[in-house]
């Protein structure tokens, strides 16, 4: 696990560089991301060529997380897990908790700006706070000069037991563009091939990769192909429910394990684009609109009136439609952007969304189902909320399906359309996935 002393210490940049450098050595690398982040995994995939999996103890539970890690790590020579925030931040969902659950060696990234001999106190504190953790090494990031590195190295060597595995300079010129939800998605290629090659070269020059691999007990390429754990057989074609799934620049936030669970339980996922397509896919049984950036593409979404009409008519015909966060915004009467321009959208729900300049909501959510819906008649759903928009008050006659921990209500339902800001993860709730697919197979009846 690549963890850090705090957020913005350089985890993502170093993770991408390490993925590229290990791949250059001929190692098959499987990336993972600790926590609910949608964006970092897309960057991992661009560099490694492998789908990066989210490992989130809070949303998915230790059994699902452990099974997911074992299954996909078994296919690779090296599994690299990018941590979240600082090593101990996040309680039950922290990088430290995940490392203990999976028994992962930790490589600690330390931001060395404005610090000299005091670096030893930082490293020693991380060593001693939880003796059960295996702190395998330290990477010093943003080092200012050879003399600065010498001061840091000598202090850690004198006072700490954790070895220094290398250092990276302060000025690396690998800044990844950002927007209000975080870094730019991997599909948008924020780092070109030349930058990635230079980043891998910087990692090779700055880190002792042999020492790092040895510290993490990684021997080298496997002698033969890995054997993954047995996964459920795909249902026969006759039993599939065809579910249209929005996949474009406006709707791009999906957990890969959610999509895999849908397929395993009997769904055929049919991608479509609300931005470009003029109609819904043929012969579908349900629709899934995920999160993303509808506010950045509001002009194009509003201009595609034939798709808006198709979605609106689908909902009015009581057909199954699930929408979360950005997908929910698409179903409102429209979005008012930060320039105060209003863009009319599908108008399934009698409310509007407005973009804020500051984060509106952030955090894990447990949603108790309070009445029948396509997930089931009762039970708990688990997810995460992160958005910069708010809706005007939803009319009281619109049914609320979820009650959250704080007593508030979410999950708005009209006909057989269920939507809200909550991004669900189905790791703890595979039965809800089966219920949804059966609901789609029976036409919502």
Active-site annotation, residues: 325
Could you tell me the two tokens for 59?
């949303």
What is the arrangement of strands in the sheet containing 334-336, beginning at the earlier edge strand?
Answer: 342-344, 334-336, 353-355, 389-391
Q: Which of 175, 187, 174 is nearest to 39 (CA)?
A: 187
Measure CA of the first residue to CA of the last residue in the chain; give whole Å. 46
Could you tell me the two tokens for 403?
């009650």
Pairing of strands 135-143, 106-111: parallel
Instruction: List 409's β-bridge partners, or say none.
Output: 403
Each residue of 70-84: b (16+ CB within 10 Å) or e? eebbebbbbbbbbbb
DSSP annotation of 10: S
Q: What does the alpha-carbon distance between residue 11 and residue 108 come to, in Å, rounded to a whole number?
A: 9
Q: What does the alpha-carbon distance between residue 221 and residue 28 come to, in Å, rounded to a whole number?
A: 7
**Calculated CA dihedral for residues 303, 417, 400, 362, nearest 10 degrees:** -50
DSSP annotation of 207: B
CA pseudo-torsion sign 141, 147, 152, 157? positive
Contacts of 433 (CB under 8 A, 6+ apart): 261, 262, 265, 426
167 phi and psi angles, rounded to 5 deg? -150, 150
For tokens 């708010």, name the residue.
390
DSSP-assigned letters across all residues of 358-391: S--EEEEEEEEE-S-BTTBSS-EEEEEEEESEEE
Distances in Å between the Cα of 399 and the Cα atoms of 290, 291, 375, 414 are 21, 21, 15, 7
Q: Which of 163, 115, 180 is nearest to 141 (CA)?
A: 115
């Amino acid at each position: 696990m690549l963890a850090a002393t705090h957020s913005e210490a350089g985890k993502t940049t170093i993770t991408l560089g390490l993925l590229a450098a290990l791949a250059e050595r001929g190692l098959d690398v499987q990336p993972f991301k600790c926590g609910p982040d949608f964006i970092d995994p897309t960057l991992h995939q661009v560099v490694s060529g492998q789908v990066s999996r989210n490992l989130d103890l809070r949303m998915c539970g230790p059994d699902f997380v452990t099974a997911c890690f074992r299954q996909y790590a078994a296919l690779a020579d090296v599994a690299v897990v990018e941590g979240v925030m600082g090593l101990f931040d996040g309680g039950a969902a922290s990088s430290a908790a995940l490392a203990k659950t999976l028994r992962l060696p930790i490589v600690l990234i330390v931001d060395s700006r404005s610090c000299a001999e005091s670096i030893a106190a930082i490293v020693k504190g991380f060593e001693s706070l939880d003796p059960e953790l295996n702190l395998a090494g330290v990477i010093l990031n943003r080092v200012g000069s050879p003399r600065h590195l010498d001061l840091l190295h000598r202090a850690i060597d004198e006072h700490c037991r954790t070895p220094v595995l290398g250092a990276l300079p302060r000025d690396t010129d690998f800044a990844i563009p950002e927007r209000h939800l975080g870094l730019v998605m991997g599909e948008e290629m924020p780092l070109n091939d030349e930058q990635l090659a230079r980043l891998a070269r910087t990692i090779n020059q700055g880190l002792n990769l042999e020492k790092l691999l040895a510290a993490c007990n990684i021997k080298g390429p496997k002698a033969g192909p890995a054997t993954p754990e047995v996964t459920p057989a795909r249902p026969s074609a006759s039993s599939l429910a065809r579910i249209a799934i929005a996949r474009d620049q406006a709707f791009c936030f999906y957990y890969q394990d959610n999509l895999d669970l849908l397929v395993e339980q009997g769904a055929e996922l049919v991608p479509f684009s609300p931005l470009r397509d003029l109609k819904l896919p043929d012969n579908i049984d349900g629709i899934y609109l995920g999160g993303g950036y509808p506010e950045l593409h509001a002009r194009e979404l509003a201009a595609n009136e034939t798709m808006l009409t198709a979605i609106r008519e689908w909902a009015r015909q009581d057909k199954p439609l699930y929408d979360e966060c950005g997908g929910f915004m698409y179903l409102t009467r429209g979005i008012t952007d930060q320039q105060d321009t209003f863009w009319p959208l599908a108008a399934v729900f009698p409310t509007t969304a407005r973009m804020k300049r500051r984060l509106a909501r952030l955090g894990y959510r447990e949603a108790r189902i309070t009445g029948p819906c396509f997930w089931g008649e009762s039970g708990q759903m688990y997810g995460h909320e992160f958005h910069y928009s708010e809706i005007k008050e939803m009319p009281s006659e619109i049914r609320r399906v979820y009650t959250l921990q704080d007593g508030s209500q979410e999950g708005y339902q009209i006909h057989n359309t269920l939507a809200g800001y909550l991004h669900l993860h189905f790791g703890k709730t595979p039965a809800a996935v089966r219920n949804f697919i059966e609901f789609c197979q029976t036409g919502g009846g």
